[in-house]
């Protein structure tokens, strides 16, 4: 048997603002942006060079969903972005005013820093140890 996670849904306030952040600030690739209805789109973004799991940007449709924007995991780090050059990405992200809540620090598994996306979701930026 073979299985894989294809997408992780990230609840967002606005499709276009989220696309702008992920493609312009983090250099993600817009894989798909398909209109499904007047209020719903199928929007998938992926980190540069990735061939694995992608983010499905899902616009909040209810008050309960809107309350989860930016805090889908109760304040824990939600997503993990691996990089081949931590300080290249860290320096570029801080120059673009992306806020780092923690780090950078050297851990046994690699260099890591915790940053916030445009809604406040926490991400680990990790350059794994060689």
What's the CA angle centered on 54, arms 85 and 65, to 5 degrees? Answer: 115
Delimiting residues of CATH 3.10.180.10 domain(s) in the chain? 1-69, 70-130
Q: In 3-state terms, what secondary structure has residue 22?
A: helix
What does the alpha-carbon distance between residue 124 and residue 7 come to, in Å, rounded to a whole number? 18
Other beta carbons less than 10 A from residue 115's beta carbon = 22
- Read off φ and ψ for residue 13, nearest 5 degrees: -85, -35
What's the CA angle centered on 103, arms 128 and 51, to 5 degrees? Answer: 35
What does the alpha-carbon distance between residue 78 and residue 80 come to, in Å, rounded to a whole number? 7
Q: What top-level class would CATH report for the domain 1-69?
A: alpha beta
The pLDDT profile of the chain, 130 residues, written as one tens digit per residue, is: 999 999 999 999 999 999 999 999 999 999 999 999 999 999 999 999 998 899 999 999 999 999 999 999 999 999 999 999 999 999 999 999 999 999 899 999 999 999 999 999 999 999 999 8
Question: Of 3.10.180.10, 1.10.490.10, 3.40.50.720, 3.30.70.920, which CATH number belongs to 70-130?
Answer: 3.10.180.10
Q: In 3-state terms, what secondary structure has residue 64?
A: helix
């Amino acid at each position: 048997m073979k299985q894989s996670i294809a997408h992780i849904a990230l609840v967002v306030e606005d499709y276009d603002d989220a696309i702008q952040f992920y493609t312009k600030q983090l250099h993600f690739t817009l894989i798909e942006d398909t209109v499904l209805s007047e209020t719903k789109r199928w929007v998938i973004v992926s980190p540069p060079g990735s061939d694995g799991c992608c983010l499905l940007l899902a616009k909040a449709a209810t008050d309960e969903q809107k309350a989860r924007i930016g805090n889908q995991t109760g304040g824990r780090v939600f997503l993990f972005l691996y990089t081949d050059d931590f300080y290249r990405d860290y320096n570029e992200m801080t120059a673009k005013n992306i806020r780092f809540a923690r780090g950078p620090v050297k851990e046994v598994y690699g260099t890591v820093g915790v940053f916030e996306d445009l809604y406040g979701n926490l991400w680990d930026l990790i350059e794994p140890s060689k």
